[in-house]
Amino acid sequence: MPRPYKSRRIRGKPNSSYFKPAGIKMTDLNEIVLSMPEFETIRLIDFKEISQIEAGNKMNISQSTLSRILFSGRKKIADAIINAKAIRIEK
């Protein structure tokens, strides 16, 4: 039996839930979905510039879990930028 899901504390809300490259029609774009935990982790670490330990405490998760979420979110954003994909932030 898998371990139960631990809820994560999300405090930041995105001002927009969708980003796309300029000059490309929506019908021609592939889409990447960024989860709210990934958004919150990137907001705390990269935008607010706080440590992973402090961010983990704010989100009520361990530093190692936060690190995995951060890696996943950064990889998705890099893929979207390099391959001209839209980013949808899941609410």
Residue 67, in any domain of the structure: yes
Residue 87 has what pLDDT? 94
Range of the domain at 60: 36-89
Judged against a pLDDT cut of 80, whether residue 40 lies above it is answered with: yes
Residue 69 has what pLDDT? 95
5-35 per-position pLDDT tens digit: 666 667 777 777 889 999 889 888 999 999 9
Number of domains in the chain: 1
User: Helix 63-82 and helix 52-59: axis angle, to 10°?
Assistant: 100
Rounded distance, CA 14 to CA 35, Å?
A: 11
Cβ within 8 Å of residue 79, ≥6 positions away = 32, 85
Residue 79 has what pLDDT? 96
**How many degrees, rounded to 5, is the angle at CA 82 between CA 78 and CA 88?**
60
Judged against a pLDDT cut of 70, whether residue 71 lies above it is answered with: yes
pLDDT mean over 49-53? 95
Residue 11, in any domain of the structure: no
Question: For 13, what's the count of Cα atoms within 13 Å in the CB-facing half-sphere?
Answer: 2
**pTM of this structure:** 0.82
Identify the CATH number of the domain in which residue 51 sits.
1.10.10
